[in-house]
Amino acid sequence: MTIEKEDNIFQKVINGPSQGYTDNFPKREMWREIVKLYNGEFKIGSNAGHVIEYHKIMIPHKDWKINISVSDTRPLKFQASFVSHQDFDFIISWEDFLEKIMKKFGKKEIELGWKEFDNHYMIECNRSDLIKKTFTKEIQEGILKHNIYSISYQTDSESKKSELLSVIQRQGGNKELNIELIELYKALIDNLHKSRIIK
In this predicted model, what pLDDT tens digit does every residue of 54-112 receive, in sequence order?
999 999 999 999 999 998 788 899 999 999 999 999 999 998 755 555 555 555 678 99
Residue 187, in any domain of the structure: yes
- List, for residues 177-186, the tens digit of each pLDDT value: 999 999 999 9
Residue 58, in any domain of the structure: no
Residue 150, in any domain of the structure: yes
Does residue 184 contact residue 89 with C-beta atoms inside 8 Å?
Answer: no
pTM of the model: 0.82
Rounded Cα–Cα distance for residues 145 and 149 (Å) = 11
- Strands (DSSP E) found in the chain: 41-46, 53-61, 64-71, 76-83, 90-94, 121-125, 150-156, 161-169
Rounded Cα–Cα distance for residues 140 and 126 (Å) = 19
Domains: count for the chain: 1
Range of the domain at 145: 3-19+75-194
**pLDDT band, residue 16 (cuts 50/70/90):** very low
| pLDDT at residue number 158 | 92
Rounded Cα–Cα distance for residues 24 and 73 (Å) = 9
Closest CA to 151 of 5, 17, 42: 17
Residue 181, in any domain of the structure: yes
Residue 35, in any domain of the structure: no
**pLDDT band, residue 25 (cuts 50/70/90):** confident
Conformation bin of residue 61: beta by default, left when phi > 0, alpha when psi is -120 to 50: beta
Residue 32, in any domain of the structure: no
Residue 70, in any domain of the structure: no
Element (H, E) at 178: helix 175-194
CA 89 to chain centre: 15
